[in-house]
Amino acid sequence: MKLSFKLLALLALLSLNVLAQQKAQLFSVKNAKPVDQVNVFLGSSADHGQMSPAASAPFSMLSIGPQTYPKTHTGYEFLARKFEGFTHNRFEGVGCQGSGGNIFIKPFLGNDPAQSTLIKVSEKASPGYYEVGFENKIKASFTVLGKAGKHFYQFPKGPKGFYFDLGYAFNGAFVAESHEVNGNTISGWITSKTTCGVGKYKLFYYMEIGDNVSWKVVDEHKMIAMLKGELTSVGINIALSAVSIEAAKNSINKNLFNTVKEQSKADWNTNLSKIAVNGDLESAKLFYSLLYRTMQSPYVISEADGTYRNTKGEIQKDKEIRYNGWAIWDNYRTQLPLLSLIEQDRYAGMVNSIADLYHSGKKDYAGQNEPSNTVRSEHAIVVLLDAYRKGYHVDFSKIADSLVKEVNGLDYKSPDKALESSYDNWALSEIFKILNNKEKSDFYLNKALEYKKYWNKDFKDMTKNDVDRMQARGLYQGTIWQYRWFVPYDFKGLIELDGGEESYLAKLDEFFARDLYNHANEPDLQVPLMYNVTRSGYKSQYWMHQLAADTVIQNYFNDNSRGIGSYIGKIYRNQPKAYLRTMDDDAGAMSAWYVFAASGFSPACVGWPIYYLNVPLFPSLTYNLPKGKTFTIETENFNLKNKYIKAVFLNGKPYKKNFITQEEINAGGVLKIVASAMPVKISDTENWISSLEK
């Protein structure tokens, strides 16, 4: 009896311990902060995201980060031990070998910077903060709030100083600079080439270095600031501006380092708390680490008084905050739609900033007088239409002529360009419909419908031997198989072109069965959702779950390779080598794709305020919306094995649709998704399908 009693007691104790461990592995915003879950080192090693752990603030052009040897696109490699110094801007997650890397600073010991080596021995970082310790006992810490940042260095005793290179930039992108040294301050402007080196941007800066410094000029762009006396700690204040040196000076933050660090952390937490997840702790860490990446760009370019520079370099003024730093071809599909939900106060300014591009003579890539680093802006017209239909103000009448000029100049030379250009023609047709101009609306609708002749020519016959070859027939970063689905504006017409639903489904099934899908790049990013326009919507539910959270096979990569070292595993991992080989985050595009998939809804067609449903990756999530409203997605029968939708309820009532609208989300309420391990093959839901029918 005693033995039995002891055994029962032991089992009870073990059971309680297991329950305690299980409880400890759950996350809830009721007892933990989203900001504390973020791993800023995710995607910072090799070509697995092209992200950095730099100290940054939401949508700030200033990010203070390390320059390692060797480096990746953002100047940093997680595995590197040798550091060259620190710089003050970078475009997170983009290709073309990255860009930025301005205002280089290296702390050093002794009297010769070249003889002082920085070897990493410790490192930690979190949103808004980065620190690193070196073998030579130098320790460097950085924090950023808005456009202002602070450095804090700890040194051993002895001679020491800072080496500055104002002509430093990634990939030889430096163009020109001018600076002035005045006591312990240095200020000026720098012009560098933008991402991909197409255009140029100009930034202004103001910097204060401690109290006791003596300057030595090395050459035209390089100088040394020696620290006087036996200082063992010193701070540097810096601020950037797209407007002027004076504006940068006015942004300098004089508060104590730790005060600014805590303010930055609180600011990040406010932004990250726009979505509250409840569930597995490790899943929450991945979710918030990716959500963090969706809030790096575009950059605020206006000052507190409303002044900003447009893309002609001209000074303008407006009450509304202005933004620049676009990667629209990459992130119009996911990141911008996400911001339209979670950053609604900011998004109005982003939308008007995109419209402003047309006043300045918009190009697909950067111009020569950009107010910040930027990449590209194709499909901006689709973003504007999408925003208008989501309730954001867009004055199309003021930019209609510029929209016409852009669309009339579109390129149809390659098969992919023909489909992409047709998308913009459709958007312009819809805009003229909004403007009550039937003649022009019909004209551009007919232009959009011409996609059918291009599709029949290049995408109908899938027996040709080049259909699975990267860049065949002049395609950009994709295959015929991957681009054939790019008709988001007319899925109904696509099904008809493909020979009807049976043929369409057979081709989709073959596409996934042969692992022809490429998540390392954007051209086919919408394809997992494309079963939703048929009676086999459960297959979209399967693939959204599989790609977001389970093992997949990937044969295509962003370096245009195929079948070389196929990848088998999860795509999204919370580690420095986070993504597929060669997969860029593309300014938050790929992170936002995951955030949507994990939330249980994803954009059906940018230009329509419609989201297709899938089973979320959490038991519950809540979107915190303006005016105190909340939209909660609950999953009944939650289990990662239950990836199919059995039933849906909105505010307690049966919801017989496979989609939800932005208006329904913004209205607030509770969407309950009943999950099942078995697919529901016979469904009575209303399926949304895009169509170009007149």
Which pLDDT value is given to residue 559?
86
Of 72, 142, 44, 90, the closest CA to residue 296 belongs to 90
Q: Is the pTM value of this prediction over 0.75? A: yes
Q: Are residues 160 and 294 in the same domain?
A: no
Q: Are residues 220 and 281 in the same domain?
A: no
Kindly state the tokens that stand for 266: 């609180």
Taking only the tens place, the pLDDT of each residue in 120-170 is 999 999 999 999 999 999 999 999 999 999 999 999 999 999 999 999 999
For residue 226, what is the domain's CATH number?
2.70.98.10
Q: How many Cα neighbours within 13 Å face the side chain of 597?
A: 29
Q: What is the DSSP letter of 271?
A: H
Q: What average pLDDT is seen over the chain?
A: 95
For residue 390, what is the domain's CATH number?
3.30.2080.10
Q: Are residues 619 and 584 in the same domain?
A: yes
Residue 694 pLDDT grade (very low, low, confident, very high; cuts 50, 70, 90): low
Taking only the tens place, the pLDDT of each residue in 96-106 is 888 999 999 99
| Residue whose structure tokens are 């940042």 | 149
Residues 6+ apart with CB under 8 A from 376: 196, 326, 327, 328, 329, 330, 364, 365, 366
Q: Which residues face 554 on adjacent strands?
A: 567
Which pLDDT value is given to residue 22?
47
Q: Are residues 84 and 66 in the same domain?
A: yes
Q: Are residues 554 and 599 in the same domain?
A: yes
**Own/partner long-range contacts of 398-404 (Cβ < 8 Å, ≥24 apart):** 398/355, 398/359, 399/355, 399/358, 399/359, 400/431, 400/432, 400/435, 402/358, 402/359, 402/361, 402/362, 403/358, 403/428, 403/431, 404/428, 404/440
Phi, psi of 203 (to 5 degrees): -120, 150
Q: Are residues 366 and 455 in the same domain?
A: yes
Q: What is the DSSP letter of 657?
A: B
Q: Are residues 228 and 286 in the same domain?
A: no
In whole angstroms, give the CA distance from residue 643 to residue 546. Answer: 9
CA dihedral 686, 689, 693, 694 (to 10 degrees): 70
The per-type count for the chain, helices as H runs and strands as E runs, is 18, 31
Which pLDDT value is given to residue 129?
98
Cα separation of the two ends of the chain: 83
Which pLDDT value is given to residue 10?
44
In the predicted structure, residue 15 carries a pLDDT above the cut 90? no
Taking only the tens place, the pLDDT of each residue in 30-63 is 999 999 999 999 999 999 999 999 999 999 999 9
In the predicted structure, residue 414 carries a pLDDT above the cut 50? yes
Taking only the tens place, the pLDDT of each residue in 291-300 is 999 999 999 9
- Please give the share of the chain, as a percent, with pLDDT higher than 70: 96
Kindly state the tokens that stand for 582: 């060669």
Taking only the tens place, the pLDDT of each residue in 457-497 is 999 999 999 999 999 999 998 999 999 999 999 999 999 99
Structural domain total, the chain? 2
Would residue 19 count as lying in a domain? Answer: no
Helix spans in 378-414 (H): 380-389, 396-408
Q: What is the largest CA-CA distance in the chain?
A: 92
User: Which structural domain, as residue segments, surrounds residue 203?
Assistant: 34-273
Residue 211 pLDDT grade (very low, low, confident, very high; cuts 50, 70, 90): confident
Which pLDDT value is given to residue 1?
41
Burial class from Cβ neighbours inside 10 Å (0-12, 13-18, 19+) for residue 70 reads exposed
The mean pLDDT value for 407-411 works out to: 96
Which pLDDT value is given to residue 561?
87
